Amino acid sequence: MPDMRALDGLLLLDKPVGCTSNGVLQQVRRLFGAKKAGHTGSLDPSATGMLPICFGEGTKLCAYLLDAEKTYEVEGVLGQSTDTEDADGEIVAEGPVPAITQAQMHQTVQGFLGHSMQVPPAYSAIKRNGVRAHKLARKGVEVQLEPRAIEVKSIELLAFSADRFSLRLCVSKGTYIRSIVRDIGDSFGCGAHVSRLRRVSVSPFEQQRMYSIDEIQQIENKDSLLLAVDEVISDWQSLTLDSERAMLFRHGAKPQIDYAVETTSASADTAEDQSGGPSKDLLRIYDPSEKFLGLGKISDGRLETVRIIGGQLQ
């Protein structure tokens, strides 16, 4: 195993099936020999797909990807409900699948588009009285979770047969795909569970390539797979400071800002996050050489230091 080293950057991992997100995180950290690493939103062991992993200074930005939109492809099986709402669980109910037309399935699926209140699965990481719900459920404790506000931004029926359907959907943070599949089955009175789930992308990485564990193991220059840490927030507004203001910013002072904020992104929606999350009104800050300095916020004409990023991927 290589010596552990300071390493800054972001890896888009294609998580394999059958392992926990933390388990694969530790495997990747060892492959890169990185002292510090973190992931940006768990995938169930049975799920595959994009799991962004942040190294070093990148871990300071992990929280902002937790709020990001995510796109999934999922296959659901009608006629069987499981306790975990996926194929890993025990079957708790079975029922005949009614004759459903393509048009009926399409109409039902489209009914999930937009804002709604969703009851999360009992087997989830949500805490009840300080304990993860899945831990209580595995002990046989009946878990009743409160509905939570979610948004399905897009949803498409990819395939449909007598007892199976496939969807592609883009959702807000906190949305459980298992629960959407469950609710589709319940709407037809026969139940349903997830048989396959893949996270296709995490915003803003819709067009970026993922790398599997096997690919990482085979590449000698593994650092070449990393993105710069500021790619995590590449669709935020940015502000480039002159040398004097950059120095003040890095020392926690509040330099006066008397010129317009220049954006380098095609969309600055996340700089004014509609969810009211931690990214609201924050800016990417750069020095004259375009080195990423950290996060800031303008208040009363002055730039407040929110987060200093000490490392930079070269």
Is pTM beyond 0.85? Reply is: yes
State residue 169's pLDDT score: 98
Q: How many CA atoms lie within 13 A of 239 on its CB side?
A: 27
**Mean pLDDT of the 111-130 span:** 85
pLDDT digits (tens, 9 = 90+) for 235-281: 899 999 999 999 999 888 899 887 544 444 433 343 334 333 444 58
Q: How confident is the model at residue 142 (pLDDT cuts 50, 70, 90)?
A: confident
> What's the chain's average pLDDT?
87
Domains of the chain: 9-67+204-229 (3.30.2350.10), 70-200 (3.30.2350.10), 235-308 (2.30.130.10)
- Helix axis angle for 177-187 and 102-110, nearest 10°, is 130
State residue 136's pLDDT score: 65
Asked about 44 being catalytic, the answer comes back as yes
Q: Catalytic pick from 3, 8, 14, 44? A: 44
Closest CA to 106 of 48, 187, 40, 50: 187
pLDDT at 137 over 70: no
pLDDT digits (tens, 9 = 90+) for 190-239: 999 999 999 999 999 999 999 999 999 999 999 999 999 999 998 899 99
State residue 241's pLDDT score: 93
